[in-house]
């Protein structure tokens, strides 16, 4: 029997649509400018839009390389910090020029060609966390990726290896817990986190997805609300699940009935921006049939619910 959930909200029509959206991901909001940024990873494109305006405000930056995650930079409005095909870089939002400052595999060209950064986030001290996995069109991801941390001095360290399907990262509101999603394992891991040193220890299987409990699909992107709850996109599951951070219980879901491949949520005001995928090689019916809005971006109002603080990358 399929599990039943309390429905917190049901997504309506997408706030953004393009016929060529493929895998929209990694939304991040800039409160100062009012812009929300996101990436379409396989297209090599970064977008921005104003949530108050919607489709008419959508702007497109052709990068020409896979960009897996985005972050704002402290004191710099001309660039975004990105996790991209070969590592960590700065993207000029005016010109679209990408300059890398940390290459993941500087001495291994074959590994550079094989891998790409998929998702990431920033800690309270401005360190950029992200993970690499096998790139598109190169076969099924294997247990060959890694989690990296790029600090404020632009030094890079490998924190966890190997991983196969790394996805969302997030921090608890008190910055003492780091969460990391391993999609291919269907698992959200938690770590004790020391913000002063950037050390993540005591890896724990926080939530293991079970179809009988959580329904179909696997965990993908993640957002944290002010109360510490986890809001987890369920890829191939048509939903975002809200988990209680203390009990790990499902408190409710947001239904995205017209898009199956739910990819990543991010709080913008009292609501969630939710990106989705249209990976037809995984499911030929995506983009039609059961998922007419596949790849589109949704905004779901959640009155009274706000996100925990999201931090900016810092450079010393």
Q: Which residues are annotated as a binding site?
A: 25, 116, 118, 167, 220
Binding-site residues for a divalent metal cation, in ranges, read 25, 167, 220
Question: What does DSSP assign to residue 212?
Answer: H
Cβ–Cβ under 8 Å, residues 166 and 181: yes
Give every CB contact of residue 92 below 8 A, 6+ residues apart in sequence. 78, 79, 98, 99
> Has 296 been annotated as catalytic?
no
How many beta carbons lie within 10 A of that of residue 188, not counting itself? 25
Catalytic choice (123, 220, 229, 293):
220
Backbone angles phi, psi at 194, to 5 degrees: -110, 105
Query: In the numeric block, which tokens belong to residue 19?
Result: 């016929």
> Cα separation of 276 and 21, whole Å?
9
Q: Tokens standing for 299? A: 């905004």
Q: What is the DSSP string of 13-37?
A: S-SB--TT--BEEEEEE-TTT-EEE
Question: Residue 260: is it exposed, middle or buried by C-beta count within 10 angstroms (0-12/13-18/19+)?
Answer: buried
The Cα–Cα gap between 140 and 142 comes to 6
Assign 3-class secondary structure to 227-269: CCCEEEEEECCCEEEEECCCCCCEEEEEECCCCCEEEEEEECC
Known binding-site positions for substrate? 116, 118
What is the set of active-site residues? 220
């Amino acid at each position: 029997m399929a599990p039943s959930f309390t429905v917190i909200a049901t997504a309506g029509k997408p706030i953004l649509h393009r016929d060529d959206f493929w895998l929209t991901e990694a939304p991040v909001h800039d409160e100062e400018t009012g812009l929300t940024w996101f990436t379409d990873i396989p297209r090599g494109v970064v977008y921005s839009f104003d949530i108050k305006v919607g489709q008419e405000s959508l702007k497109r930056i052709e990068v020409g390389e896979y960009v897996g995650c985005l972050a704002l930079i402290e004191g710099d409005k001309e660039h975004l910090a990105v996790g991209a095909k070969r590592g960590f870089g700065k993207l000029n939002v005016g010109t679209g020029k990408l300059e890398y400052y940390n290459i993941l595999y500087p001495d291994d060209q074959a590994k550079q060609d094989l891998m790409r950064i998929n998702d990431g986030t920033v800690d309270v001290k401005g360190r950029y966390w992200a993970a690499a996995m096998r790139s598109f069109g190169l076969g099924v991801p294997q247990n060959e990726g890694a989690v990296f941390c790029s600090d404020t001095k632009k030094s890079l360290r490998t924190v966890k290896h190997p991983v196969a399907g790394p996805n969302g990262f997030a921090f608890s509101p008190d910055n003492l817990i780091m969460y990391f999603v391993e999609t291919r394992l269907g698992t959200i891991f938690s770590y004790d986190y020391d913000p002063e040193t950037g050390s993540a220890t005591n890896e724990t299987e926080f939530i293991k997805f079970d179809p009988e409990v959580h329904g179909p699909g696997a965990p993908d992107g993640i957002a944290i609300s002010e109360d510490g709850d986890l809001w987890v996109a369920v890829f191939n599951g048509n939903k975002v699940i809200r988990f209680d951070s203390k009990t790990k219980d499902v408190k409710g879901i947001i239904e995205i009935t017209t898009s199956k491949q739910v990819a990543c949520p991010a709080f913008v005001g009292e609501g969630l921006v939710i990106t989705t995928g249209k990976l037809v090689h995984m499911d030929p019916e995506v983009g039609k049939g059961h998922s007419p809005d596949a790849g589109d971006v949704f905004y779901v109002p959640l009155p009274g619910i706000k996100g925990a603080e999201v931090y900016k990358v810092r450079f010393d």
